[in-house]
Amino acid sequence: MAVAAPSGEYSGSKTVLGQSINAKISATSDTSMDLSISGVIELSCSDEAYHMSGADILIDNIAQAGDCAHDALEENSVTLEKSVYDEAADTITVSVKYSVMSIDLVLTKGSSNFVIALPADLATTPSGAYSGSKTVLGQTINAMVSANTDTSMDLSISGVISLSCTDEAYHLDGSDIVVDNIAQAGDCAHDALEENGVTLKGVTYDESSDTITVSVKYSVMSIDLVLTKTSDDFQVVVTVLSDPEGTYSGSKTVLGQTINAVVTSNSATSMDLSISGVISLSCTDEAYHLDGSDIVVDNIAQAGDCAHDALEENGVTLKGVTYDESSDTITVSVKYSVMSIDLVLSKASSKYPTKTFPMAKNMLRGSATQ
């Protein structure tokens, strides 16, 4: 006896090794369906041709390059092993192979069809500031989006990924926040993502919850950050009312290696910098200036400068040095090998003598311009 075709929407999820995989199928007719997989695997295809062979749901063009499902699965290094419809239970089981794992997702009937592309016009656009964070494999990623106007926003990602861009042009396409110049070399967001080895999968706005979801792919991980509305707008560059004074120190242990950093502000234009541990830098009287909350080491790009040469010798990039007036702390951000490391330095009771830190000359000057 022939098996009836599925109708309507089916959805389900599964957590594998701490990563959630979500899947949806909407049978729009007996020969066409919309497919969506999100989480560690990303796929979103509409109007995929299919037919039934017994209980098997066969996607007609899954072996053809150029087909949406074929290309998305190949990009994610996933093999679709089978999709099976259980008429008695009215469920669909999607079986995929990802890396060395075979994963079965059982999708149950939903109350209504889903639409992959949301309506083109939303009643409202995002306004103000949205922020959120997520910890993945022990690393915390923070993101902020501030909608300045209907066509311009500030974007910031910090942690293992570093991005800070102002006045990025965007437009809304349904619920999708499209960053207009993301594919163009020279655009701030494009260049920062490329430098970090990150792909921006999408930015979406949920009007009902007034949240923004930023989806990125970093290495083999797909990461979704849900940003909630904050009470006040943020600025990527914050106005600093006073300069850092005195000595700031801190340390961090990464992969069993301890990194120590000390910054002493000698004046409003000169500081001593020291990093020790797996990275060695010791520089005195480094010229700097403040740009908002950024401590800009003036000569960091110049060969012969102490900080420039020490960073280059250690294979380190100084991503930035920032001052937080409210907490009176300095954050030194460096990239070492494939790791992005943030060291938060708190105020010490007194200035340190330069002679106490014989290694201190070579490291920090170049931080804020990288």
Digit-coded pLDDT (tens) for 203-242: 999 888 889 998 888 766 778 889 998 744 333 333 334 6
| Structure confidence at residue 76 (pLDDT) | 80
Work out the pLDDT band at 353, boundaries 50, 70, 90.
Answer: very low
Cβ contact 22:125 at 8 Å: no
pLDDT at 135 over 70: yes
pLDDT at 356 over 50: no
Mean of per-residue pLDDT scores for the chain: 79
Burial of 69: CB neighbours in 10 Å, binned 0-12, 13-18, 19+: buried
Distance of CA 337 to the CA centre of its chain: 19
Mean per-residue pLDDT, 125-154: 82
In the block, tokens 């990924």 appear at: 161
Q: How far apart are CA 357 and CA 283, in angstroms?
A: 9
| Structure confidence at residue 220 (pLDDT) | 66
Quick check: pTM over 0.85? no
What percentage of the chain exceeds 90 in pLDDT?
Answer: 22
Question: To 5 degrees, how large is the angle CA 83–CA 85–CA 91?
Answer: 110
Q: DSSP class of residue 123?
A: S
Give the DSSP H/E element, type plus range, for residue 212. Answer: strand 211-218
Between residues 263 and 366, the one the model is more confident about: 263
Neighbour count for residue 35 (Cβ, 10 Å): 23
pLDDT at 357 over 60: no
Lookup: tokens for 171: 């437009």
Give tens-digit pLDDT for 82-91.
999 998 999 9
Q: How far apart are CA 147 and CA 295, in angstroms?
A: 26
**Residues contacting residue 35 through CB under 8 Å, at least 6 positions apart:** 24, 25, 43, 44, 45, 46, 48, 59, 69
Burial of 100: CB neighbours in 10 Å, binned 0-12, 13-18, 19+: exposed
Give tens-digit pLDDT for 298-311.
999 899 999 999 88
User: Any idea where the domains of the chain sit in the sequence?
Assistant: 8-109, 128-229, 246-369
Q: DSSP class of residue 1?
A: -
| Distances from the Cα of 152 to the Cα of 17, 181, 192, 200, 337, angstroms | 38, 12, 18, 18, 34
pLDDT at 66 over 50: yes
